[in-house]
Amino acid sequence: MRVTILPPWWRSKWFYALCVVAVLLLGLVVDRLRAQQLRERSRELEGMVRERTVELEKRRLELEERTQELEASREQLRIQAIQDGLTGLLNHVAILRAFAAEMERARRESRTLVLAMVDLDNFKGVNDVYGHLAGDEALRFFAKAVNAAIRTYDHAGRYGGEEFLLVLGEVPAADAQRRLSLLHALTSNIEVAVGEAKFIITCSIGAVVYNPTQGIESMESLLTTADQALYFAKESGRNRVVVRQAHRLETRQENFPKD
């Protein structure tokens, strides 16, 4: 009689096979749980990246906006530093700087330069009759006419009160009188309407033509010559152009109807 002793169940082949299957299933479950955890972590990271990106973009836009505001403020300050608040033309300091720069350029390139001093005729009468608000409006009308009359590379500024300074570059000496006469025609006899009040403003122009090839002149001497030409224009009846050549005594004059 033969007796067979069977191993305990935990040492049987089927138990080993079941353990292998269990281990494989456990590994699969762990792998899936890890994959799910990684996906969740990835989504969290993506969400954090999106939030960070949105925050950075928001900050970038805020920074750009502040930069634009700063640049606008800086530009506004720059304009205020060089612009006359009433007329929008260059102010006294800025027009003299432009004059100095154009003189230096004229010397460097051996080109003529025209400096014109312009004064509104009988302007005190405008203020007395129509009031200072009407006078301010007249100055604005005149400044607008000047801006339309000069070239883009010319300079116009308010020298003081109702007196203006024009710096005209690259104007041949032979063409100065014609150019100034045309400019006068475009900036004089302007009709100003303020409320119910209507009146005409005219201007007188005293100018000097500077030719650097004929010698060295200073800004002060050219301003003095232009001022003298303006004085002569006003003493001669106003509403006219008087042109003088630097380094010369000759005076040319063009008459227009008086006020």
d(CA 64, CA 53): 16
Residue 162 annotated among the catalytic residues of the structure:
yes
- Catalytic residue, chosen from 69, 162, 196, 235, is 162
Strands (E), 90-211: 113-120, 155-160, 163-169, 190-194, 197-201, 203-210
Contacts of 203 (CB under 8 A, 6+ apart): 118, 119, 120, 121, 142, 184, 187, 188, 239
Q: Which residues of 65-86 are buried (b: 16+ CB within 10 A; e: fewer)?
A: eeeeeeeeeeeeeeeeeebbee
List active site positions.
162
